[in-house]
Amino acid sequence: MNKFIKYYFLGIGGIGMSALARYFHAKGFQVAGYDRTETKLTKELQSEGIEVSFVEDVDQIPFVYTKPENTLVILTPAVPQNHPQLVYFRENNFTIQKRAEVLGNITRQSKGICIAGTHGKTTTSTITAHLLYQSRVSCSAFLGGISNNYSTNLLTSKESNFVVIEADEYDRSFHQLSPYMAVITSADPDHLDIYENAAAFRESFEHFTSLIRPGGALIMKKGIEIEPQLQKGVKLYTYSMDGGGDFSAENIRTEKGEIRFDFVTPTDRINDVRLGVPVKINVENSVAAMALAWLNGVTLEELRTGISSFSGIYRRFNVVYKSEDVVYMDDYAHHPTELKASISSIRNLYPDKKITGIFQPHLYSRTRDFAGEFAAALSQLDELILMDIYPARELPIEGVT
């Protein structure tokens, strides 16, 4: 990776790809890319000086990115194999790497803190990054969402060797990483178009645990049904929201619209922690993030301040509008377990409100594989407005609507 001075991204507008593009641009390299659709994020990349094209024709590739000896092409799995620009780069012997491969190289050059899980990983990784970044420890971070605290999905630090990364299980991407420490928030089966069955999905997480470097640690939610395959010298910790473990929350309570809890570690305790984003599921995510930060030298007072000042992630339980009569929220929950937790949290916050959900299923394959679970989760709503399926990278599947 060190020999390249130019980076071209196929799918630059994705949340993970754009963070990498920003990273190389911040380091002073030339960065450009293609995406199918113009979005708020692609406009931001352009305003930062990154060239973005929305036409897939080969002649849209800027001339400076046509030399294979100094240009690395970075690919997202959502780009089809017959994409004209990808075909051009492949036929002209460019080095082409998936985003996960590039992140893996970065973790081998730093202390990678990698957060994995079917759900919770974006929030947990963003809380972890915030806790480290606002402390004397600091960090860089590649986030799977836009942090409300920093209005970006990339944090950079010149003085810290820690880098926080969301470890994506799709297409076994997280097997490319070399974590110093890792969290597993959940391992509920998903992406069965890739893994075929629940056993293969869980085995993939077990392999991920074997990649943690000696001297590091795995922090795993208590009760997850996987058997960690840890190298010698890797410590294992467990955590929970209210069920014990090495790290946990106790005395969880709601006072005047705020959630407070006591944070418990193997040797320390912080009483009366105020959660900046008052959603109960974020207590569990915060415990995992605080455990990582505590293990890496963040002080108890910095932990208290950081959790209180965390202001959430765009499209993760965002309150878009609020009045006495109406609350309008936006959430990216797209797995049945996430939906269930999201709706339950809303019900706890607003027990006397009628809850109407506008839900757009994400992927034909996920809708097919979890139709019953989706129905059960959505049945918690008082009223449902159901949209057409968002296909993302997939073609329609006959009979799935």
pLDDT in tens, 8-60: 999 999 999 999 999 999 999 999 999 998 999 999 999 999 999 999 999 99
Residues 325 and 302 in one domain: no
Q: Are 52 and 34 in contact (CB under 8 A)?
A: yes
Domain count, the chain: 3
CATH number of the domain that 132 lies in? Answer: 3.40.1190.10
Specify the range with the lowest mean pLDDT, choosing from 113-127, 150-164, 184-198, 248-262.
184-198
Cα–Cα distances in Å, from 361 out to 314, 358, 398?
19, 10, 16
Residues 202 and 240 in one domain: yes
Q: Per the domain annotation, does 27 fall within a domain?
A: yes
pTM of the model: 0.82
Residues 293 and 356 in one domain: no
Specify the range with the lowest mean pLDDT, choosing from 33-42, 225-234, 386-395.
386-395
Q: Per the domain annotation, does 1 fall within a domain?
A: no
Q: Per the domain annotation, does 399 fall within a domain?
A: no
Q: What is the pLDDT of residues 200-216, one digit of tens each?
A: 888 999 999 999 999 99
Q: Per the domain annotation, does 222 fall within a domain?
A: yes
Pairing of strands 140-147, 152-155: antiparallel
Q: Are 74 and 102 in contact (CB under 8 A)?
A: yes
Q: Per the domain annotation, does 15 fall within a domain?
A: yes
Q: Dihedrals φ, ψ of 71, to 5°?
A: -120, 125
Residues 301 and 332 in one domain: no
Residues 200 and 337 in one domain: no
Q: Are 21 and 76 in contact (CB under 8 A)?
A: no
The reported pLDDT for the residue numbered 187 is 84
Residues 55 and 77 in one domain: yes
Give the pLDDT band of residue 2 (cuts 50, 70, 90).
Answer: low
Integer Cα distance of 13 and 159 in angstroms: 29
The reported pLDDT for the residue numbered 224 is 92
Residues 192 and 152 in one domain: yes
Residues 177 and 49 in one domain: no
H or E segment and range at residue 113? strand 111-116
Looking at 63, 79, 99, which one is the last position of a domain? 99
Q: Per the domain annotation, does 239 fall within a domain?
A: yes
Q: Are 264 and 249 in contact (CB under 8 A)?
A: yes
User: Which amino acid makes up residue 26?
Assistant: A
Pairing of strands 111-116, 71-75: unpaired
The reported pLDDT for the residue numbered 119 is 82
The reported pLDDT for the residue numbered 21 is 97
CATH number of the domain that 373 lies in? Answer: 3.90.190.20
Give the pLDDT band of residue 255 (cuts 50, 70, 90).
Answer: confident
pLDDT at 1 over 70: no
Cα angle 395, 88, 194; round to 5: 35
The reported pLDDT for the residue numbered 173 is 87
Integer Cα distance of 59 and 54 in angstroms: 12
Share in percent of the chain as helix, strand, coil (round to 5): 35, 25, 40
Looking at 264, 285, 309, which one is the last position of a domain? 309
CATH number of the domain that 86 lies in? Answer: 3.40.50.720
Tokens of 7: 């980076």
Q: Per the domain annotation, does 394 fall within a domain?
A: no
Residues 163 and 303 in one domain: yes
Residues 114 and 262 in one domain: yes
Q: Per the domain annotation, does 398 fall within a domain?
A: no
State the residue range of the domain holding 245: 110-309
Q: Which residues pair with 316 in a beta bridge?
A: 313
Integer Cα distance of 196 and 199 in angstroms: 9
Specify the range with the lowest mean pLDDT, choosing from 97-106, 138-147, 256-265, 372-381.
256-265
The reported pLDDT for the residue numbered 228 is 95
Residues 46 and 191 in one domain: no
Q: Are 114 and 174 in contact (CB under 8 A)?
A: yes
Q: In Å, how far from its chain's centre is CA 86?
A: 26
Residues 226 and 204 in one domain: yes
Helix locations, 79-238, DSSP H: 84-91, 99-108, 121-133, 192-195, 198-209
Looking at 276, 309, 342, which one is the last position of a domain? 309
Burial status of residue 127 (CB atoms within 10 A of its CB: 0-12, 13-18, 19 or more)? buried
Integer Cα distance of 31 and 71 in angstroms: 10
Give the pLDDT band of residue 222 (cuts 50, 70, 90).
Answer: very high
Q: Are 359 and 390 in contact (CB under 8 A)?
A: no
